[in-house]
Amino acid sequence: MPKPIYITTPIYYVNDRPHIGHAYTTIVADLLIRYHRLSNRDAYFVTGTDEHGSKVAEAAEAAGLSEIAFCDQTVQTFKTAWDNLSLSYDCFIRTTSDRHKQSVQKILEKLHTAKTDSGEEVIYSDFYEGLYCTGCEKFITEKELVDGQCPHHKKEPERLKEKNYFFRLSAYLPKIKELIETDQMQILPEERKREVLGLIGQELGDFSLSRERVKWGIPLPFDQDQSAYVWVDALSNYITAAGYADDPEAFEKWWTKGEVIHLMAKDILKFHCLYWPAMLLAADLKLPETMFLHGFFTVDGEKMSKSLGNQIDPNDMVATYGADATRYLLLTQFPLGVDGDVQAKRFATQYNSDLANDLGNLVSRVIKMVVVNCDGKIPSPFRGIEGLDELMAQTEELAEHSYSHIKHFRVTNAIGDVIALVRATNKFFNDRAPWKLGKEGKTDELGGILYACCEVIRVVSILLYPVMPNKMKEIRAILSLDDSTLNLQSAQTFFDLKPGAAVSFDQPVFPRIKEEKASRGEAGNVASGDEDNLLDISEFGKVELRVAEVLQAERVEGADRLLKLQIDIGIEKRQVIAGVAEHYPPDKIRGMKVVVVANLKPATIRGVESRGMLLAAKKGKKLTLVTIADDLPAGAKIS
């Protein structure tokens, strides 16, 4: 039996309303936990809010509220947003709860009586004098100032001198270094691991465990005049939720014997990867198995900030696209772990292309034909169909591959492979043209094609359930499926659907979004078979195709599939980002003459501008660029 798995997000500070930065981490955690549950693994998912500190007290006073009333108000905005996104957390921890206070005081008592290997007290009292930024809620050095101000909050820090209790971090850094280097505590991605090891080499000083001046916090059990410093308070939430102070049986299961995974953004790396492990070592508690730190992201190429007005409220996205499509759009913008750009302007385009046209259109076309041609019942399978064996093989291997991606935090790979199967099935359906077979009296073959497509839809409903739980249950209801077969084992077998089971179809699973109805976005592509989406010849005439010669090519850092190309299109030289690296390494594509769409609006991909798209043909996993004979010059128009 695999270990129970315990996955946490950071707890979110109540001075901010939820935005897509908060939502992204929490949706990733929800995806991971749902996937592990599909494999019948015992799993627990924790999120919550960080509610103490002087900044919260000041904000509450400015709002004319008590501290707890202010916190209650903001906490509800997070809970509402998480409910709107269909997040399946098991515990929402609040640092103002009695349960958490009990947990913090227990670990502080443990640390207060602990000794290092050399016999020194782990916690000691001393005076600290330095520059304190209220916005950061930490002391900062002169070197960190820009023009005498905190670089983050553009405010001159106060000079404070106060009695604090300190944690003897230096005593634990050698052990932490060993655990990280040997991956006993795995820090991912590898770049973050190198960053943490670099910090250890900088001779970090001991850190403050308490604050004398901060009253909105948890008092130290051994000195009521001091409050636990915000990071000690906040980090302890992970063991609070596991039952550290109030449920020893649960704590043994989830923390001591379970696999613990912390998810967070890289800005809180030092506290999670050094301070927290040191505290756990000193308290004689097990360390997390994995810390995964995802990157920062921009929105349409710009840093997300209140001042720019480009912070996206996840509730607004849900109102436009629905909970499931919002989850899908945020999860597929860029690979987990890297810095990336959220293409908010293309949300509608991607929704219509991936969900309405590819997946939604497959479901509607197949089920409508079952209703019309098979009396609304799943037909019998039929093996003698061209292309069926290949489709079956791609389907049956997908569950194992997808779960492997998830266990290695390759979220976009797991989702992308399922969408590739959807597209392969659309092609299988189109190539076999079942609408013709009924007229020709080939009912067995017609039924076999429809059965195979229904089987793929069934498997897809399992593998995309962690991404879009509500819509996948909707698709399963269309096929008369319940939750008893909603697991990865069921996704590994073909011919699982029972012939004769009733199907029904009322409305599209993913209705197309009109451009004017989307808060951000453009019109999407169309899938064949949807007559409402056929282009007029004058519209197609707007597409400008040109021959381009690839002058230079290099990989985009942190992206396995992307190349940055410098191309000559005759009238000018420009840069294009293309997802062809798996098929065309840089040395192979240099010098090739390819076909590009030359009149697209510039797009920012992974923070790099791209002006154009390459044409390619794809069958299964094989991709081939459309190339041009050498005697046709760069810049030649294709019509």
pLDDT score of 558: 67
Q: Pick 535 or 210 by higher pLDDT.
A: 210
22 is catalytic: yes
pLDDT band at 132 (very low <50, low <70, confident <90, very high): confident
Residue of 115, 152, 153, 618 marked active site: 153
pLDDT score of 305: 67
pLDDT score of 620: 63
Q: Give the start-to-end residue ranges of the domains of the chain.
A: 5-295, 319-533, 537-638
Please state at what angle helix 443-463 crosses helix 398-407, rounded to 10 degrees: 10
pLDDT score of 131: 86
Residue of 303, 368, 514, 517 marked active site: 303
Q: Is the pLDDT of residue 517 over 70?
A: no
Exposed/middle/buried for residue 436 (C-beta within 10 Å: 0-12, 13-18, 19+): exposed
Q: Is the pLDDT of residue 521 over 50?
A: no
Percent of the chain with pLDDT over 70: 93
Percent of the chain with pLDDT over 90: 67
**Is 537-638 in CATH node 3.40.630.30?**
no
* Closest C-alpha among 294, 280, 287 to residue 188: 294
Summarised one tens digit per residue, pLDDT across range 406-449 is 999 999 999 999 999 999 999 999 999 999 998 888 999 999 99
pLDDT band at 78 (very low <50, low <70, confident <90, very high): very high
Which CA distances in Å does 476 have to 8, 359, 378, 482?
A: 29, 13, 13, 7
Summarised one tens digit per residue, pLDDT across range 280-332 is 999 999 999 999 999 988 888 887 766 666 788 999 999 999 999 999 999 99
Q: Which residues have CB under 8 Å from 250's CB, separation 6+?
A: 242, 243
Within 496-633, strands assigned E span: 545-555, 563-568, 573-578, 593-597, 603-605, 608-610, 613-614, 616-619, 622-625
Buried b (16+ CB within 10 A) or exposed e, 468-500: bbebbbbbbebbebeeeebbbebbbebeebeee
Residue of 115, 154, 215, 306 marked active site: 306
- Residue 29 token pair: 């955690």
CA pair distance 20, 328, nearest whole angstrom: 13
pLDDT score of 532: 42
pLDDT score of 541: 59
Q: Is the pLDDT of residue 528 over 50?
A: no
Residue of 3, 79, 136, 345 marked active site: 136
Model pTM above 0.75: yes
DSSP single-letter state for residue 261? E
CA pair distance 109, 96, nearest whole angstrom: 19
Q: Is the pLDDT of residue 378 over 70?
A: yes
**The dihedral of CA 330, 332, 336, 341: what is its sign?**
negative
377 is catalytic: no
Instruction: Please give the average per-residue pLDDT across 30-40, as a whole number.
Output: 98
pLDDT band at 607 (very low <50, low <70, confident <90, very high): low
Assigned architecture for domain 319-533 = Orthogonal Bundle (1.10)
Exposed/middle/buried for residue 343 (C-beta within 10 Å: 0-12, 13-18, 19+): buried
What amino acid is encoded at 152 in this protein? H
Residue of 71, 150, 273, 453 marked active site: 150
Instruction: Please give the average per-residue pLDDT across 40-49, as a whole number.
Output: 98
Summarised one tens digit per residue, pLDDT across range 584-599 is 888 889 888 999 998 8
Q: Is the pLDDT of residue 630 over 50?
A: yes
Half-sphere exposure (Cβ direction) of 448: Cα atoms closer than 13 Å: 16
Instruction: Please give the average per-residue pLDDT across 507-531, as a whole number.
Output: 56
Q: Is the pLDDT of residue 523 over 50?
A: no
Q: Which residues have CB under 8 Å from 626's CB, separation 6+?
A: 594, 595, 614, 615, 616, 617
Cα-based angle 290, 293, 295 (whole degrees, multiple of 5)? 160
262 is catalytic: no
Q: Which of 246-260, 560-574, 584-598 ranks highest by mean pLDDT?
A: 246-260
pLDDT score of 230: 78
pLDDT score of 522: 33
Residue of 133, 374, 453, 454 marked active site: 133
CA pair distance 615, 444, nearest whole angstrom: 37
Q: Is the pLDDT of residue 520 over 50?
A: no
pLDDT score of 306: 63
Q: Where are the alpha helices (DSSP H) in 85-205?
A: 98-113, 173-181, 190-200
Mean pLDDT of the chain: 90
pLDDT band at 96 (very low <50, low <70, confident <90, very high): very high
pLDDT band at 530 (very low <50, low <70, confident <90, very high): very low
401 is catalytic: no
Cβ neighbours, 10 Å, residue 220: 23
pLDDT score of 469: 98
**Is 5-295 in CATH node 3.40.50.620?**
yes
Summarised one tens digit per residue, pLDDT across range 162-181 is 888 999 999 999 999 999 99
- Residue 236 token pair: 């302890």
